[in-house]
Amino acid sequence: MIEAKNFSRYLILARRFLSAGRLPALLLAVARKREQSGQSLAALRADLGLLQSLCIAWWRGEYRAISGQALLAIVAALLYFVTPLDALPDWLPVAGFIDDLAVLAWVIRSWRAELGAFQAWRAAQTPEALRLIERLPLDGNE
């Protein structure tokens, strides 16, 4: 996989987030930013939802059929998305999300097979199981 410019530092952060058990906090930040962005990220909503669902299922131990590299890249892309001061600061109208879109699209393209396998697994789940898998909070205190 050819790495996007400066993405390696987000991979390091992703490794730290995962080892420190901070994935739930990241997913909540992604959900907040996704909601606050309104129509700015309309085209990205489905992709973000897919990445969030995969991370939730992985965190809860319900889906582990993903390579460590793919999970790191996905978490790194989500970190990039929530970081306001990246290549193009998010406070710039419209332009601030272009780099976020590019990084997320790049990760989704790079790990298409892994994401496709997750989608197939998810499609095989019952509606009740999906509701349990995707419901927040992620801390196990439901």
Find the radius of gyration of the CA atoms of the chain.
15
pLDDT interval class at 133 (50, 70, 90): low
Q: Tens digits of per-residue pLDDT, 78-119?
A: 998 888 765 555 545 555 666 777 788 888 999 999 999 999
pTM: predicted TM-score of the whole model, two decimal places: 0.76
Dist. CA 50–CA 109, nearest whole Å:
13
Q: Tens digits of per-residue pLDDT, 29-84?
A: 888 877 776 665 666 778 888 899 999 999 988 899 999 999 999 999 999 888 87
